[in-house]
Structure 1
Amino acid sequence: MSFRMTTRWCKVSSLTSGSAQARQPDQATLAELELAVGELLFTRAEDSLSGEVRHHAILAANPLAEWLVWNWWRLCFEPQPAGKQTPGWLEAHRMANVGGGWLWPNVEFVSDGVRMRIAAKASAASAQQPLRYLSTDHAVIPLAQFEQGVDAFVERVIERLSSQAVAGADLPHMYEELLAERADPEAATYRRLEALLGFDPDECPDDRVMTLYQDAQGLGLEGVAELAAGAGTSPLSASQLKGWARAQGCESDKQNRLGWVGQGYRVDHQLPAWRNGVKAAHALRAQERVADAAIGNRQLAEWFAVPAVLFEEQRHNKALAYELAFESDKSRVLLRSRWQAGRRFELARLLGDVLLQAEPEPLHLATAQNTYRQKLQRAFAAELLCPIEALSELLAGDFSDDAIQGAADTFGVSPMTVTVQLLNNRLMQSDELNGLDPDWAVA
């Protein structure tokens, strides 16, 4: 399914009088605007006066193009916050905030860094507005398709501004700067980290981004990017992680870890994160010939080459669970949870992260964020420790609290993990998940 932002330009002369006014960016780019993914329409609307339902809305394309260019880095790389959404996040990801005096559709763009979820909500039935948006559709597409659709739209708006001889428009200069940043690896890395922290371009204190940028030299860019996601004003530093690892970490001998034949396994980024996680968990269980059996502490600890007592310890890192390598064959592991089931789940997440990375990295994190990598980890750990077929057979349709607690005890996971497995696999229903694309479900 392709992402399209279609414009059918309105005749300027019929909308305004006076050549100076006609050349203003908004008036010159007035269009019948249609947003769609495949056959799904996000701009379907009803004219409150005539009652006519149409697929487009008459809007100025210029302010939308400026909004897309200005927020490009945040749209593409900033995940949805794990907790309560902040006003700043909504301003950068929800189209209703484009402004300029126009009535925009309530379309939200949510990226996990690999895939983009585009969702529309209908206008409130009681809204006293000349146009009432009707769409409640949603779709998930590869991030590259979103980027291509935005580029095509912005370039079309710039061409329109040029053909209408609009002088002094900001959009061409803004887009030129964006393309230059995207083509420059160092500038692109800086902007990506800035966006992951939740800041608009040049709004984040320079020293904060530069610290992360320097940390990436030793810890790897992808690990530091996961560290930055959702960290906001207080990202953790490499020195903090190293200090905690030395003082509290449990040593892991990487040479004695599970040798996975899935080393040739490659994550298919065309698939949702949870599907990759589940496939990898099935592959590992098949290799180790554990079928649907519960995985004990000793076996899980042996796979990651840590002592099984790690699950019993009360020492924990309040910030996050992670593994940090100090040497090629040694690393330190810290877990966040104080509870055995939580610690098992965190170690399984780190195991999945290690096994599924294409290249070795010194830092592996298990965070609460909604990046593709974190969602993949959670799905891997959930299916590895609590396989859905065995869980379904054990519960046999009994989803009472007692039954869920019993299943959690059997598989050594939390009742929450059991519940989320049932929800994500549509064996249970929840109002919170109604209408969500199962491919976007977070395990």
Structure 2
Amino acid sequence: MAEMSIDVQWMAAASGEPEIQATAAWLGISVDGVSLTRNQDIWAKTVRDNVFVSAYPLAMWLANSWWRLNHEPLPRQQPGHGWRMAHELGAANHGFVWPRIMFIPDGEFIDVWARASMTPNQSVQYLQTLDAPKQLGLAGFHKSVEQFMGSVLARLDAREASGSDLAHVWAILQEELADPEMARRRKLEAQLGFDAEACPEEALSAALQWSPLVGDEALSELAPAIASFEASPDLALIGRLADADGMVGAPEFSFGDIDHLRHGAPWERAVHDARALRQKLGNTSDPIPSQELQGLLGLGRDAVAAWPAPQGRSPVAVAMPTNGRHLKFIPRRHNPVGKRFELARFLGEHLRTAPRGARWLASTDLGTYCQKYQRAFAAEFLCPINALLSYLDGDFSSYAMEEAAERFDVSEQTVTSLLYNNGHLHRQWSEDMPYQVAVA
């Protein structure tokens, strides 16, 4: 897990608003010792790891964006202006040239992306690109931001500028964090794509009403997926799903039937759990027949085949508790391979967490910790990487991968993702920020 630091060396400034002058500084942002503020000053013809700016705009941006920075995942489609303003550090603006850094939360961690910024005619050219995102723990991210905020507020006090807007915004944020019900509302607002207090009260109340039905964890998965898909924050789709017909089954295994990793990246825990389940089944490498997969979820032989293809597109698939151990599954995929992968995701999600009353299982296209786990579990369970490598025997041609996909009854995209994620194919990261993320 990476660590972030935000360091300031206070300097004097001759112009600007009082708060801007008071917090003029050499600013350095680094992740695991990699300077994300390393830059070339075109006028001074120097290269250094910190940049001369005012810390005040950055502190204001962090305070105002807090809830979305921590709780709003990357949408599946191209993010809009509001999302970018809350997640790209350049939105701190105030006339300064900021590095191209993006923060993307997944519910457990925050991924930090950075790209070099060599915009012509700018006085500062940022030089650092991260080849892959760095993963920050939420506690570590909070600690680094709070330490930076404390330094900025102390500097304002020392320069007799203590009654700033920043002090007011930060004080309100602390009150919200200390109030569980208010924090819950702010978190849901962010997941629905709104700044604090910007979500219409009627829509927020309508969204909150679903929590007792689906569970808080499932609501955190469903809210951003449905809201961004339907452009409607009231989450009325949940009601339609609750009333819909589904496939009912009693899964054969549950959380306590395998040993779990308690910590780690979602793919690490998912691969461990998939292998543990295969070990329990006595099949560590052979393909899993669809009939067996359905049986693990307690679904009848013909249940999936008889399931009518859903009308139109849906942003989510769900499974909801009913009649004790039974779950009502409402998939969304049309093609057989997609349905099979979706059922494997449900199996992984059912195994992932201990039962806690009425809790829906939610499967979406978002990049949250939960969804990353599901995709990694399904990929490893249906197509174990070691078995895949043995089958390919060093042949990574498109023809060989197509045959492998057919053997394990998964998509070619799943095979490709497994090879990428395990370092057997080289991924060309986009030169732009990651507005689309690959999924299995």
What TM-score results when the alignment is normalised by the length of structure 2? 0.91
Structure 1 match to 2:265: 272
Q: Is the 8 A contact 2:260 2:272 kept in 1?
A: no
Equivalent position SS for 2:104 = strand
Q: Residues 320-353 of structure 1: CA distance to partner in whole angstroms, max 9, x if unpaired?
A: 2210113323321111111111111101101111
TM-superposed deviation, 1:194: 0.8
Q: Is the 8 A contact 2:345 2:363 kept in 1?
A: yes
Q: Is the 8 A contact 1:253 1:331 kept in 2?
A: yes
After the TM superposition, which residues 288-307 of structure 1 pair with which residues of structure 2 at under 5 Å, given as runs? 288-307=281-300
Residue of 342, 354, 357 corresponding to 1:358: 354
Structure 1 match to 2:7: 6
1:183 aligns with 2:178: yes
Q: Is the 8 A contact 2:379 2:414 kept in 1?
A: yes
Whole-Å separation in 1 of the counterparts to 2:124 and 2:158: 29
- Residues 376/42 of structure 1: CA separation in 2 closer, same or farther (3 Å cut): same
Whole-Å separation in 2 of the counterparts to 1:152 and 1:43: 18
1:195 aligns with 2:190: yes
Structure 1 match to 2:368: 371
What TM-score results when the alignment is normalised by the length of structure 1? 0.91
Gaps of 5+ in 1: none
Structure 1 match to 2:302: 309
TM-superposed deviation, 1:106: 1.1
TM-superposed deviation, 1:251: 1.1
Residue of 142, 146, 150 corresponding to 1:147: 142
Larger deviation, residues 377-386 vs 51-60: 51-60
Structure 2 match to 1:75: 69
TM-superposed deviation, 1:164: 0.6
Residue of 146, 153, 161 corresponding to 2:156: 161
Q: Residues 233-257 of structure 1: CA distance to partner in whole angstroms, max 9, x if unpaired?
A: 325344222112xxx3011135xx2
Q: Is the 8 A contact 2:319 2:328 kept in 1?
A: yes
How many residues align? The count is 426
1:84 aligns with 2:78: yes
Structure 2 match to 1:47: 41
Gaps of 5+ in 2: none
Whole-Å separation in 1 of the counterparts to 2:101 and 2:411: 35
Structure 2 match to 1:341: 337
- Residues 350/10 of structure 1: CA separation in 2 closer, same or farther (3 Å cut): same
Residue of 98, 102, 105 corresponding to 2:96: 102
Whole-Å separation in 1 of the counterparts to 2:370 and 2:103: 19
Equivalent position SS for 1:160 = helix
1:205 aligns with 2:200: yes
Whole-Å separation in 2 of the counterparts to 1:285 and 1:263: 10
1:417 aligns with 2:410: no
Q: Residues 354-380 of structure 1: CA distance to partner in whole angstroms, max 9, x if unpaired?
A: 111134353001100010000010000
Whole-Å separation in 2 of the counterparts to 1:308 and 1:431: 42
1:282 aligns with 2:275: yes
TM-superposed deviation, 1:276: 1.2
Q: Is the 8 A contact 1:96 1:104 kept in 2?
A: yes
User: One-letter code of the match for 2:59?
Assistant: A
- Residues 50/433 of structure 1: CA separation in 2 closer, same or farther (3 Å cut): closer
Q: Is the 8 A contact 1:316 1:334 kept in 2?
A: no
TM-superposed deviation, 1:397: 2.6
- Work out the percentage of aligned pairs sharing the same amino acid: 33
Whole-Å separation in 2 of the counterparts to 1:26 and 1:47: 21
Equivalent position SS for 2:379 = helix
Structure 1 match to 2:402: 405
User: One-letter code of the match for 1:47?
Assistant: D
TM-superposed deviation, 1:220: 0.7
1:118 aligns with 2:116: no
Equivalent position SS for 2:269 = helix
RMSD between superposed Cα atoms in Å: 2.2
Structure 2 match to 1:224: 219
- Residues 328/362 of structure 1: CA separation in 2 closer, same or farther (3 Å cut): farther
Q: Is the 8 A contact 2:382 2:408 kept in 1?
A: yes
- Residues 143/167 of structure 1: CA separation in 2 closer, same or farther (3 Å cut): closer
- Residues 266/341 of structure 1: CA separation in 2 closer, same or farther (3 Å cut): same
User: One-letter code of the match for 1:158?
Assistant: L
Q: Is the 8 A contact 2:254 2:350 kept in 1?
A: no
Whole-Å separation in 2 of the counterparts to 1:71 and 1:303: 43
Structure 2 match to 1:430: 427
Q: Is the 8 A contact 2:254 2:351 kept in 1?
A: no
User: One-letter code of the match for 1:42?
Assistant: L
User: One-letter code of the match for 1:234?
Assistant: S
TM-superposed deviation, 1:265: 2.3
Whole-Å separation in 1 of the counterparts to 2:39 and 2:429: 26
